[in-house]
């Protein structure tokens, strides 16, 4: 892994925003040439899976397995150290997807007032005990198109809702009063807690919205999509192999890792010292 990522660690302000609001934005996380390559790969993936004339938003799962361009995001220097500073070293990629949301058809009227609010990871929100439930994972959203104005299908969230189990008043006849759009330019990244109530907005612009999402979790969580990443393992460095889900010591190593299962830990000790990896 490129040690330059250590120049982009979580700042005190980002930690405060993440803890209190549930998310924060990293401006200009990706350079324009990488945004272009990711957008080309996204367009190919979308074209291969969209019927002619279909203008519905499509969530393409396992984008990392579709095209090598997405692999670069796995340990991207401007975001990975922030992920590690939040979750620690016992992590993996458990999910990747790219959302493609074309403009809504002229005169489109939604059946529901509210957009599709949810917390991530389905059953985790029911099976786990506690209030709030544990974080377990976070996502990084990489914006490929311009959602710097509202009405472009922007990511929406309810500030602080990751710490409140009931984030919704019962009256669903109106949009949630605290629905807050993220305004992001191409190349910006968003880090958010999986418990945060969030939703993609309605795209009433004339620009198709494209956002890549990478979910990072503890290594014991099962992947949320069919990650087709085996072909990357032979050429990957040890930390990429960890992030791609490898466990050299087998199934036992996902919950009780040996040193070889978690090269990220020794990399952090080497670069930052023992205090960076406790416990």
Ligand X SMILES: O=C(O)CCC(=O)C(=O)O
Name which of 5 and 138 has its Cβ closer to ligand X: 138
Alpha-carbon distance of 35 to 51, in angstroms, equals 25
Rounded least distance, CB 267 to ligand X, Å: 28
Alpha-carbon distance of 40 to 219, in angstroms, equals 31
Alpha-carbon distance of 106 to 102, in angstroms, equals 12
Q: What angle do CA 192, 197, 201 make, to 5 degrees?
A: 90
Rounded least distance, CB 34 to ligand X, Å: 20
Rounded least distance, CB 179 to ligand X, Å: 12
Helix (H, G, I), strand (E, B) or coil at 99: strand
Cα-Cα end-to-end distance for the chain: 22
Name which of 21 and 241 has its Cβ closer to ligand X: 21
Q: What angle do CA 93, 207, 66 make, to 5 degrees?
A: 30
Tokens 């959203």 correspond to what residue? 141
Report the Cα 173 to chain-centroid distance in Å.
30
Report the Cα 232 to chain-centroid distance in Å.
20
Tell me which DSSP letter residue 9 carries: P
Name which of 102 and 200 has its Cβ closer to ligand X: 200
Name which of 199 and 207 has its Cβ closer to ligand X: 199
Alpha-carbon distance of 203 to 37, in angstroms, equals 23
CB 99 within 8 A of CB 200: yes
Name which of 119 and 247 has its Cβ closer to ligand X: 119
Rounded least distance, CB 59 to ligand X, Å: 8
Name which of 31 and 122 has its Cβ closer to ligand X: 122
Residues that bind ligand X in the complex, under the rule CB under 6 A: 99, 120, 139, 155, 198-200, 211, 213
Rounded least distance, CB 116 to ligand X, Å: 7
Rounded least distance, CB 121 to ligand X, Å: 9
């Amino acid at each position: 892994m490129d040690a330059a990522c250590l120049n982009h660690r979580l700042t005190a302000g980002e930690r405060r925003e993440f803890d209190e609001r549930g998310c924060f934005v990293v401006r200009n996380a990706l350079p324009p040439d990488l945004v272009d390559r990711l957008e080309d790969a996204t367009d190919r993936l979308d074209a291969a899976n969209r019927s002619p004339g279909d203008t519905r938003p499509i969530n393409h799962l396992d984008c990392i397995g579709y095209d090598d361009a997405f692999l670069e995001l796995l340990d991207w220097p401007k975001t990975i150290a922030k992920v590690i500073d939040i979750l620690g070293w016992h992590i993996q990629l458990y999910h990747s997807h790219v959302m493609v949301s074309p403009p809504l058809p002229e005169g489109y009227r939604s059946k529901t007032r509210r957009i599709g609010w949810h917390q991530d990871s389905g059953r985790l929100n029911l099976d786990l005990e506690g209030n709030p439930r544990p974080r377990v994972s976070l996502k990084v959203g990489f914006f490929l198109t311009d959602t710097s104005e509202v009405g472009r299908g922007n990511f929406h969230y309810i500030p602080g809702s990751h710490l409140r189990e009931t984030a919704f008043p019962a009256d669903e006849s109106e949009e949630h009063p605290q629905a807050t759009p993220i305004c992001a330019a191409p190349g910006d990244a968003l880090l958010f807690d999986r418990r945060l109530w969030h939703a993609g907005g309605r795209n009433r612009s004339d620009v198709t919205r494209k956002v890549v999402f990478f979910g990072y979790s503890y290594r014991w969580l099962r992947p949320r999509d069919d990650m087709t990443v085996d072909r990357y393992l032979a050429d990957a460095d040890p930390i990429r192999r960890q992030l791609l889900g490898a466990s050299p010591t087998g199934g036992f190593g996902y919950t009780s890792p040996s040193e070889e299962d978690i090269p990220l830990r020794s990399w952090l000790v080497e670069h930052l010292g023992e205090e960076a990896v406790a416990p």
